[in-house]
Structure 1
Amino acid sequence: MKTQFLTLAFLLITLSLFAQSEEEAIRQTLQNYIDGSSYNNQELIQSAFYENADLFLSKKDQELWILSPQEYASLFKNREKGKFNGRNGKILMVDYANNIASAKAEILIPERGLKFIDIFLLKKLSGKWKIISKAATQIK
Structure 2
Amino acid sequence: MKTILLTAFVLWTFQGTKAQNTNKMENQIEIQAITDAIENYYFKGIYEGDALLLGSIFQPGTLLFGDVKGQPYFKTIDLYLDGVKNRQSPKDSGKPFKGEILHISVVNSIAVAELNVKMYDFNYRDFLSFHKINGTWLIVNKMLTDTSK
Q: Do they superpose with TM above 0.5?
A: yes
**For the pair shown, which has the larger CA radius of gyration, 1 or 2?**
2
TM-score (norm 1): 0.78
TM-score (norm 2): 0.74
1:21–1:84 Cα change, 3 Å: farther
Q: Cα offset for 1:68?
A: 1.9
| Residue in structure 1 matching 2:118, options 91, 103, 108 | 108
**SS class of match (1:45):** helix
Which structure carries more relative contact order (alpha carbon 8 Å, separation 6+)? 1
1:16–1:60 Cα change, 3 Å: closer
Structure 1 gaps, min length 5:
none
Q: Cα offset for 1:46?
A: 0.5
Q: How many residues align?
A: 134
1:102–1:79 Cα change, 3 Å: same
Q: Cα offset for 1:18?
A: 2.6
1:10–1:87 Cα change, 3 Å: same
Q: 1:37–1:87: 8 Å Cα contact kept in structure 2?
A: no
Question: In the alignment, what sits opposite 1:137?
Answer: 145
| Residue in structure 2 matching 1:117, options 115, 125, 133 | 125
Structure 2 gaps, min length 5:
1-6
Q: C-alpha root-mean-square deviation of aligned residues, in Å?
A: 2.8
**More helix per residue:** 2
Q: 1:107–1:118: 8 Å Cα contact kept in structure 2?
A: yes
**SS class of match (2:55):** helix
User: What is the rounded CA distance, in whole Å, between the counterparts of 2:70 and 2:32 in structure 1?
Assistant: 37
Deviates more, 1:40-49 or 1:17-26: 17-26
Q: % of aligned pairs identical?
A: 25
Question: In the alignment, what sits opposite 2:62?
Answer: 53
